[in-house]
Chain A
Amino acid sequence: MDMRSNVDLVDRRPALVDPHEDFQAITKRVAAPIEWKTPIGWWLFFIPSVLLAASYGGSVAYLVWEGTGIWGINNPVFWGWAIVNFVFWVGIGHAGTLISAVLFLFRQKWRTSINRFSEAMTLFAVACALSFPTIHVGRIWLLYWVAPVPNSMLAWPNFRSPLLWDVFAVSIYGSVSLLFWYVGLIPDLATMRDRVTSKLGKFAYGIFALGWRGSTRHWRHYEVAYMLLAGLATPLVLSVHSVVSFDFAVSQLPGWHTTIFPPYFVAGAIFSGFGMVLTLMLIARVIFKMENIVTMHHIDNMAKVVLLTGSIVGYAYAMEFFVAWYSGSQYELFAFINRATGPYAGAYWTMVTCNVVIPQILWFQKMRHNIVLLFIISIFVNIGMWFERYVIVITLTRDFLPSSWGYYSPTFWDVSCFLGSFGLFFTLFCLFVRFLPMIAMAEVKTVVPEADPHPEEAATGGAH
């Protein structure tokens, strides 16, 4: 029988991987970018990224030296871009684990081509995210007081503070994502160990491969562990952005104190995460010639997820207004009307346009398959989601007492920190695509037709 039919014999869906790819070809293709001699293009990305990251370091150094006053924050807007960027990055950091964990539990085989990539993105995004709450505190050198460790005051952290929940949620999310990512990497690191010729490469990959030799006795525990991690990461990923949303929802400020925040934040996070995955993936698959592994089928699915979550977010925006009116609280109602019509209405409508209006284009498959358009839309999604957080934070300008109302405008240092964080993000990303297999070979191999140990059963449609 023809193993190379265009139909995945396992689940009778269009093939996830180009049928002309066999095990060896997959390995070659994935390993290729690592084995190439460093391409110029990579440097063109890497050097600016490193410089940008360095500028972030510089900005932070000045910040710590001079004080948070160098930012635009003031009374009443005590949180500015730092927190906006934090939520923005955490949001992006959700798609990875979501794709890896949730889609894994739902046996969505199409995830295999993109999960490594998006997990990496998650880690780097979370790294950027964590940097912001760290540098935004007034006395960074005492930050360790948020950890439940005995200190000079014999006092403990206040576990009622959403900010403290944040510390736990995000840092734990980061570490669990790292574990998840690393566990997935082990077999591929072994592959690299067996392929590379350079002594250093052998040593490095060898160390991190932990002596993996594809033993079935190992696979047995490995698969269970991976499944457990996926099972744990799924509620975790949902909890993290809920907790982030608590920073606002658990306060009592008009426009912040709303119960819709957790689900709305999670949806937004997935939305922005997929937006960023698309942005990066659409570039990477071209540069690294991965079109056969990351097929239109994957792109199409991601576009659908963007459309869905985008619409959920849109629903949340509408529901906020309804609840604000229905609550009968004049403060609440004012806060929302002010968002749409007040001094910062521009930001609000940018958000709505980018997050709700533009993604509607994706209802049409034609559009979903237009790579360029898709790329542009993904950029808009990123912009829109940043503005969503900006709109939320800027709500601070007008709360209960008109006497304390004010305005907020960012300074040079707000901007430099934000751009700098992109430097950090892309630097890590460049290193990733250069030195690590950006696609989970072992996993992709499991979804090609040859992987099935019982071809004849499959051919006769027998279940296994």
Chain B
Amino acid sequence: MSNKTFGVLAEFDTPASVFEACEKVRDAKFSRWDSHTPFPVHGLEFAMGMGRSRLPIFVFACGISGASGAMLLQWWTSAVDYPMIIAAKPFFSWQAFIPVTFEAMVLFSAVSAVLGMLFLNRLPRWHHPLLTSERFKSASDHKFFISIEASDPQFDPEKTPEFLHSLGATYVELVED
């Protein structure tokens, strides 16, 4: 074992068990840890002591800028830069500019929602120590995991795995970095 360890990985069988375990880990005041599930387990983020995501604010801002940007573009192009007499309508006929404005709003928000999510999740990240663990493959299938990183101040190469065993982990392993 020349390499330094990344952390410890514990496997659980059911959502229920990992849910309880997470609550315990949270109460044990661990900070640099995470849980891994094949699907979003209802309420698990709260069990891990996390608040709501702040993504919506960012998306809202982008949506607004998209809408106003589109309206500005239409106003400038058809009323300022190159006004043309079209069907005796006003150069700035805002009624007709609503659809494009709306669509632009949706586009900007949608793109920002996805990019925002990836940014907050620090994705894409094609390599991660956990992905080297054979057992961990089932994290995307039917098993549930808790990982506590070695960089956590409370981490202890001996105690932490035992602690996880005590939470009902069916299997615990040290993952190398």
Contacts and interface: CB of A to CB of B under 8 A. Distances in A.
A155 B113 contact: no
Interface in B11-46: 14-16, 18-19, 22, 34-45
A214 B56 contact: no
Contacts of A214: 36-39, 139-140, 145
Interface of B: 14-16, 18-19, 22, 34-45, 47-48, 50, 52-53, 55-56, 59, 73-74, 77-78, 81-82, 84, 86-87, 89, 93, 96-97, 99-100, 102-104, 106-107, 109-111, 113-114, 116-118, 120-121, 123-128, 130-131, 136-142, 145
20 contacts: A24-B141, A27-B38, A27-B142, A168-B99, A180-B110, A194-B141, A207-B126, A210-B118, A212-B140, A213-B136, A214-B38, A215-B34, A225-B117, A228-B110, A441-B39, A445-B38, A446-B39, A446-B42, A451-B39, A453-B43
B39 A229 contact: no
B55 A224 contact: yes
B66 to A, nearest CB: 10
Interface in A415-461: 441-443, 445-446, 450-455
Interface residues of A, number: 68
Given A172-B106, A210-B126, A464-B42, A225 B19 contact: no
Contact of A219 (B14, B19, B37, B104): B37
Contact of A169 (B48, B99, B136): B99
B45 A229 contact: no
A453 B42 contact: yes
Contacts of A159: 74, 77-78, 96-97, 100
Contact of B130 (A157, A176, A213, A218): A213
A172 B142 contact: no
B114 A216 contact: no
A228 B60 CA distance: 10
Given A158-B78, A455-B16, 13 more contacts: A24-B141, A158-B84, A160-B97, A187-B39, A210-B126, A211-B126, A211-B131, A213-B140, A216-B40, A219-B45, A235-B102, A450-B14, A450-B15
B140 A187 contact: yes
Interface in A175-205: 175-176, 179-180, 182-183, 187, 190-191, 193-195
A176 B141 contact: no
B107 A160 contact: no
Nearest to A183: B114
Nearest to B46: A220
Nearest to A236: B106
A168 B146 CA distance: 45
B77 A154 contact: no
B46 to A, nearest CB: 9
B126 A221 contact: no
Contacts of A176: 106-107, 110
Given A160-B93, A453-B19, A148 B73 contact: yes
A191 B38 contact: yes
A23 interface: yes
Most chain A beta-carbon contacts within 10 A, residue among B43, B100, B109: B100
A35 interface: no
Contact of A194 (B42, B81, B127, B140): B140
A194 B140 CA distance: 7
B123 A211 contact: yes
B106 A160 contact: no
Contacts of B130: 213
Given A159-B100, A216-B35, A235 B106 contact: yes
Nearest to B99: A165
A194 B137 contact: yes
Nearest to A10: B42
Nearest to B17: A453
B82 A222 contact: no
Most chain B beta-carbon contacts within 10 A, residue among A158, A165, A225: A225
B123 to A, nearest CB: 5
Contacts of B118: 210
A232 B36 CA distance: 28
A458 to B, nearest CB: 11
A243 interface: yes
A133 to B, nearest CB: 16
B121 A217 contact: yes
A265 interface: no
Given A22-B142, A211-B127, A213-B128, A228 B86 contact: no
Most chain B beta-carbon contacts within 10 A, residue among A27, A172, A206: A172
A212 B125 CA distance: 8
A413 interface: no
B41 to A, nearest CB: 6
A223 interface: yes
Given A211-B125, A228-B55, A232-B109, A453 B41 contact: yes
A169 B123 contact: no
A239 interface: yes
Given A155-B82, A172-B107, A211 B128 contact: yes
B96 to A, nearest CB: 4
Given A213-B139, A216-B41, A228 B107 contact: no
B124 A464 contact: no
Nearest to B22: A216
A424 to B, nearest CB: 24
A172 B15 contact: no
A156 interface: yes
Contacts of B45: 216-217, 219-220
